[in-house]
Chains A and B, each alone.
Chain A
Amino acid sequence: MWLILLVGAVGFAFVGPLFATGSETAVAAGYLPPGEGGLLGTDGLGRDVWQRLAAGGAGLLLVAALATGVAMLVGISLGLVLTSRRPLARGVGFVVDLLLVVPSMLTMMVLVFGLGSGVPTMVLVMTVASVPFVARFTRAAALPVLRSDYVLAARLGGDGWPRVFVRDVLPNLAGPLLADAGTRFIGALYLVAAAGFLGFSPLGGDSDWATMVQAGLEGIRLNPWASLAPALAIAAVTVPANILVDRAMRKVTQ
């Protein structure tokens, strides 16, 4: 059931932009309630909320997915470095622990201040915010594998560490790491949405779900759907995703 909701919401976000051709044109007066101005009424500028809802999800999800991918790659690499006991690895471990103390909201504020609020900034924010968690998770999952006989065999066979990691260790961690990626994706979506809501949308403009929620708040008495519809759309992705990821996580850590 949760899977259907998730697939439905994500599918809507990606198919929506194809038929939402008039999402930027004003069709009626501002903040008309549903009925008088289209299926979900109009927003403050008189644009059709239903059309804008259909157009505004894909970008948000894509940025979150991209940020997750980069953060996972960096985090897994660092996690594998952390399995070593060399001084360099310890230095990396210290930096990772230090990053753990900085709230991700502050990281976001500092980086948006210095870099502006583009997609690269969001990817960087997500990487800084989640690398400590991914690296620790990877390290914990990799250590038992590294002690196994076939890793020893591969090492005795003359394989270098990078080769062993890619050929022997990572395939064994695919399940846990995928589940962890799910957790990170929800976190990334949360951060990207929060950024949009605070007025620092990575996509620019005002046409993503999170920015729509913020923009519609001033007219919430006239047409609540201008804020409520995109807010529920975000929840329709994060809630089922989180429940499914939680189940997957329980399965792989058992």
Chain B
Amino acid sequence: MSRFRRAARTATAFAGWLLGWAAWTLAALVVVFLVLDLLPGDAASARLGQNATPEALAQLRAQYGLDRPVLVRLGEWLRGLASGDLGNTLLSSAPIGPMVATALGRTAVLAAVAAIGIAILGWGGAILSGIRAGSPLDRVLSSTALAAICTPEFVVATVAVVVFSSALGWLPAVSLLPAGGGVLDRPQILVLPALSIAIVGSGTLMRLVRPIVAREAASAHVEAARLAGLAPSRVLVRHLLPGALAPAAQASAMLVPYLIGGTVVVERAFAYPGLGSLLVQAVANREPGLLMACGGIVIAVTVFAYRLADLSQTDRS
């Protein structure tokens, strides 16, 4: 009985959590929609540019359906979202939904590979330098991370291309997809983009997690385990890491918004046909529907990560 009740409570909490996530995402989306409408530039004025007469503007706005009240358009967009129809692009009338779905799949693969790299480099570096705070290794790793954090991803990407592609000829400089194939048919195109994201991201992660590991390493129970003569690896796995896990997971979730920016830039650097490239294209071509769709995914992921961070925090207390 009590087990059933606990399961029910967990399910309710989970449902509430999901509901909160959806509500926050939706609220942020509505705000972005309204801000976009409030700003002076829209698809019509950007397309006509210098030679925009009021008549031509009005005509193009009517053609794009931008002349209707903003709340009507918002309602229409939300209805479309609920039924899975994200509309068409203005320029080529291509359906946005499938376009975004394909790009999202590719970006998800890239992000997954980059996340593995970040986890290994960032957590590994944090543990190596945190368990012996102040040691020469700690100082080297910490300054490397510090230098990596503030280097823009496209600088790392450029250096990586020159070294691994131009000089050594190991990897392609441009992420060309095989005709009709997916990213996984040519996995070598993932290496340099993922590496560029991982170098910058793992620096940030290491900076966030290192103090947590260092604090845990200096705590009384870890000290006691060490003095009891347990092997260092056993102390690390059984006594040190469990305490560091929750705050470190929270720190990892805080990384997500940085990674989104980095992915956009890196995709552009390698002409990787993912969500970031699509987002840049949406802004360059002034496609509001495309921007809303890509932005919606970005917001949904960010809010998800932040709420996850909140969750691990409440679990700890």
Contacts and interface: CB of A to CB of B under 8 A. Distances in A.
Tell me, yes or no, whether A binds B. Answer: yes
Interface of A: 98, 101-106, 109-116, 186, 190, 193-194, 197-200, 210, 213-214, 217, 220-221, 224, 227-228, 231-232, 234-235, 238-239, 241-243, 246
Interface of B: 24, 28, 32, 35-36, 38-42, 143, 146-147, 149-155, 158-159, 161-162, 165-166, 173, 257-258, 260-261, 264-265, 268-269, 279-280, 282-284, 286, 288, 291, 295, 298-299, 302-303, 306
B155 A106 contact: no
A220 B173 contact: yes
A198 B264 contact: yes
Contact of A224 (B143, B162, B303): B162
12 contacts: A101-B299, A103-B298, A105-B265, A110-B291, A113-B41, A113-B283, A114-B39, A114-B42, A199-B280, A199-B284, A213-B154, A217-B269
B291 A109 contact: yes
Contacts of A241: 150
Nearest to B158: A231
A190 B32 CA distance: 23
A110 B37 CA distance: 10
Contact of A243 (B143, B282, B298): B143
Given A101-B306, A102-B28, A115 B41 contact: yes
Given A101-B303, A102-B257, A228-B159, 16 more contacts: A101-B257, A190-B150, A194-B152, A197-B152, A197-B154, A198-B265, A200-B283, A214-B154, A214-B268, A217-B161, A220-B165, A220-B166, A231-B158, A231-B159, A232-B159, A241-B150
* Majority secondary structure of chain B interface residues (helix, strand, loop or mixed): helix
Given A109-B291, A110-B295, A239 B147 contact: yes
B196 to A, nearest CB: 12
Contacts of A242: 146-147, 149-150
B268 A110 contact: no
A198 B280 contact: yes
